[in-house]
Copies of this chain bind each other. A is one copy, B any other.
């Protein structure tokens, strides 16, 4: 009788772990450090040890565990292998096979952004829906596309890599991916700072942003105070993201679009700027697509990972 499952979210500095019931109730959450030394060879053994220790602590037998889901910052192919994961110093790693050997449990691996999307669909902002586009606005722009409750992982592990679509011809400095003018360069936390700097340099117009450390948070705080320059920054951000989302919607046509990541802490006002532009450019049948904010924050990864094995 399968009563439990584990959800693991491997990040560059720490690994988030969760023990769940198969109904999706979180029974325990904890973290262990990510040891990236020696090409990350300790990461999976550390994860396995953490799981086995938790099972012992809670008197859980292997027969009671449906499996272990694990999200990693890199592409995962259909065989549960990662060709390369830069942040973990990994070359080719057979995650599913290796972790199964180490734990004796069934393992399912996925890309972290896709897994987080699955978490939001299971127990977060998109709960109850079957299809979604999730956009994670953090240092970068991540994405996850889910159709009929299945993640679109992609033929090259690049499904939902929506941070790297081209949206601006005028950008002359390269994105982390090597291309120029990616959505990530104008709609991430860093991208919002870029837009704010551009607006500040364009004029001498007074703004509460002048002479301060600028972040996505200070920009949206200023927007809430009615700062005209900050509002222009938010308008540009919303135009880039809303227009891009209107294109993604014509491809995948989801029930709901979920906005998450650190930038989404700005709250509902963020959605206003995005939705307005989305509606302007979206295909008729998609114009009323629902937008919601993500709800699980940093826990989306462990929820989604757990869901993968159910």
Contacts and interface: CB of A to CB of B under 8 A. Distances in A.
B246 A152 contact: no
A253 B157 CA distance: 7
Contact of A283 (B177, B244, B250): B177
B251 A286 contact: no
A179 interface: yes
Interface in A266-309: 281, 283-286, 289
Interface in A114-151: 130-131, 143, 145, 147-148, 150
Contacts of A251: 143, 145, 152, 159-160, 162, 165, 248, 251-252
Interface of A: 75, 130-131, 143, 145, 147-148, 150, 152-162, 164-166, 177-179, 243-244, 246-255, 281, 283-286, 289
Nearest to A182: B283
B147 A253 contact: no
A220 to B, nearest CB: 26
12 contacts: A147-B152, A148-B150, A153-B253, A154-B285, A155-B289, A158-B283, A158-B285, A158-B286, A159-B251, A159-B253, A161-B283, A161-B285
Contacts of A161: 250, 253, 283, 285-286
Given A246-B166, A252-B145, A253-B161, A75 B285 contact: yes
A156 to B, nearest CB: 4
Contacts of A250: 158, 160-162, 164-165
Contact of A152 (B162, B177, B253, B286): B253
- Copies of this protein in the assembly total 2
A109 B244 CA distance: 30
A127 B143 CA distance: 29
Contact of A253 (B155, B246, B255): B155
B243 A177 contact: no
B252 A252 contact: yes
Contact of A243 (B158, B166, B285): B166
Contact of A155 (B153, B166, B254): B254
Contacts of A253: 152-161
A254 B131 CA distance: 18
A156 B286 contact: yes
Contacts of A160: 250-251, 253
Q: Which 4 A-B pairs have the closest CB atoms?
A: A154-B253, A158-B285, A155-B255, A156-B285
A148 B106 CA distance: 23
Contacts of A154: 131, 252-254, 285-286
